[in-house]
Homo-oligomer: A and B are copies of this chain.
Amino acid sequence: MKKIDVTIGIDIGGTNTAFGILDRKGKFYGEGNISTNKHKDIKDYVIELCSTIKDTVLNINEEVNLIGIGIGAPNANFHSGCIEQAANLRWKGIIPLCELVKVHFPETKVLMTNDANAAALGEMVYGGAKNIKDFIMITLGTGVGSGFVSKGNLIYGHDGFAGEIGHIIVIPEGRECGCGRRGCLETYASATGVVRSAYEMMSIYNHPSELRAIPNNKLNSKIIYEAALKGDKIALLTFDYTAKILGIALANAVAITSPKAIFLMGGLAKSGDFLIKPTKKYMEEHILYLYKNKVKILPSQLTKNVAILGAASLIWNDIQNNY
């Protein structure tokens, strides 16, 4: 009987590491997770991760053929296979993770990239970009990440760190950003940026709003979304402002890679018509005539196990490009 080709997708988050064993169609044959920050020594973490994976593989009833391991991790460098200076992980400096994993899987291809790039690949392999060769993936979470795909290939850049649309300066001398600069897209179009915008709207306008009763350190994007659903004017102005900044940034990004579609993913992307519709409107208003009415803005078609699907897609995409 023919063995089933499977890949392993590993999603390394700040607290939890999840993995899945899946085939090209996205069917899972096993999954599991371990704590990311239990081990002080990265080698102990890798030992626990790899032995948990091996146990899970042994428990699969079907005959499977492991063709690769894909990893999505913060600050991951595709070219070097290293995690570099990740602020949210306990291991500092440069961590040669692919090399460490290969010690336990010497015969297996191991590839790694950051979560936004993995999301772009996941959309291409399993989601709404199956037939799209030129697109941009934007992840709107606590921060803003992105993956740019050209002719079916992720743009990694010379150093493996391309695709940081969240750190394009959209308002010169604007809001302070965690990166040490000011006015980055991330300070406006992320879940935390939306909270900052709600306060800006409260400072400019006099509309009564239930948001005025919530202190700065308690407000979040979900509360603003729920207020918008009820017609709260400050909440509506907040989304409109967010969409305007995001729409202009996307119009600029389009002038560089001319994508057929832009996918939005992450918590804030779930704000639906409060965000996607006006973002499209503002993008069209500010886009160069060459690109008018050509670029779709779409919600990601991936809803479950997004990060694992994305990490596994690193391998499927690599196979497709090399054979």
**A10 located at the interface, meaning its Cβ lies under 8 Å from any Cβ of chain B in the complex:** no
Q: How far is the CA of A179 from the CA of B252 in the complex (A)?
A: 14
**A62 located at the interface, meaning its Cβ lies under 8 Å from any Cβ of chain B in the complex:** no
Chain B residue, CB-CB nearest to A184? B288
Q: Across the interface, do A294 and B181 meet the contact criterion of CB distance under 8 Å?
A: no
**Looking at the complex, which of A50-58, A158-166, A217-225 is the stretch in contact with chain B?**
A158-166
Which applies to chain A's interface (DSSP): helix, strand, loop or mixed?
A: loop
Q: How far is the CA of A103 from the CA of B291 in the complex (A)?
A: 31
List residues of chain B with CB within 8 A of the CB of A180. 289
Chain B residue, CB-CB nearest to A182? B286
Q: How far is the CA of A161 from the CA of B259 in the complex (A)?
A: 10
Near B by CB (< 8 A), chain A positions 101-139 give 132-134
List residues of chain B with CB within 8 A of the CB of A168. 252, 255-256
Q: Across the interface, do A158 and B133 meet the contact criterion of CB distance under 8 Å?
A: yes
Contact of A253 among B171, B256, B259 (CB under 8 A): B256
Known A157-B259, A258-B159, A259-B158: A286·B181 in contact at CB below 8 Å? yes
Least CB distance from A321 to B in Å reads: 11
**Looking at the complex, which of A37-45, A65-73, A146-154 is the stretch in contact with chain B?**
A146-154
Q: Across the interface, do B288 and A148 meet the contact criterion of CB distance under 8 Å?
A: no
Q: Which residues on A are within 8 Å of B, measured CB to CB? A: 132-134, 148, 150-151, 153, 155-165, 167-169, 171-172, 179-181, 248, 251-253, 255-260, 286, 288-291, 294
